[in-house]
Chains A and B, each alone.
Chain A
Amino acid sequence: GIQVEQSPPDLILQEGANSTLRCNFSDSVNNLQWFHQNPWGQLINLFYIPSGTKQNGRLSATTVATERYSLLYISSSQTTDSGVYFCAPLDILTGGGNKLTFGTGTQLKVEL
């Protein structure tokens, strides 16, 4: 199956700072999702991005499928951005199903 590496594993930011999170994956993928897991454990969909660039408010994401990586940009960070950010490429299974393969995540803490 696909191997997923995320970096950095931990990140502390001052409110208002910008950051870039990286996701490398080992094989070609049909799709990729970014999630934010808030301190209460809820996985929140950020982006569904097989390739190209998308933006949503202060967040944007870029996936370069041919080079097997994706980036998540957070600008003007806020304390509510704290939590774990997961990258999850979609792996196609031999039986016709699929699964999201999650990395170990980036733990982000935004301080005042």
Chain B
Amino acid sequence: EAGVAQSPRYKIIEKRQSVAFWCNPISGHATLYWYQQILGQGPKLLIQFQNNGVVDDSQLPKDRFSAERLKGVDSTLKIQPAKLEDSAVYLCASSLRLAGTYNEQFFGPGTRLTVL
């Protein structure tokens, strides 16, 4: 079974530029998450989707970050404009369901963003 796919794996941009990350979850997984991991810390949730609807985006800096999952499968996360403090690894995860005993989350390899 294929895991969570993410691209690109690495991205270097100048501050104030825009960038987009793509994620394809495990086939059949209804729930998709985006996490941000700053160096030396654990991942922190940015946004969560159930199918094509947003379940929680309370931790997403909406002035510069946006995300969508239009067809309920793959998702994109965008930053516009980027700041230096956005340098981090952006991790996508998916789970079969939102609740119950099928909410084990599986992570992709991440996209390492460096903002100069």
Interface size on B, residues (CB 8 A): 25
Given contacts A42-B107, A102-B42, contact A95 B89 (CB under 8 A): no
B56 within 8 A of A: yes
Q: Are B104 and A97 in contact (CB under 8 A)?
A: no
Q: Give chain B's interface residues, CB within 8 Å of chain A.
A: 33, 35, 40-45, 48, 50, 55-56, 58, 89, 91, 98-99, 103-107, 109-110, 112
Minimum CB distance partner of A102 in chain B: B42
A57 within 8 A of B: no
Minimum CB distance partner of A93 in chain B: B56
Give the total number of A-B pairs whose CB atoms are below 8 A apart: 58
Tell me which of B42, B89, B112 contacts A103 (CB under 8 A): B42
Tell me which of A96, A100, A104 contacts B105 (CB under 8 A): A100
Residues of A within 8 A of B103 (CB): 31, 90, 98
Q: Are A86 and B42 in contact (CB under 8 A)?
A: yes
Tell me which of B35, B48, B50, B112 contacts A41 (CB under 8 A): B112
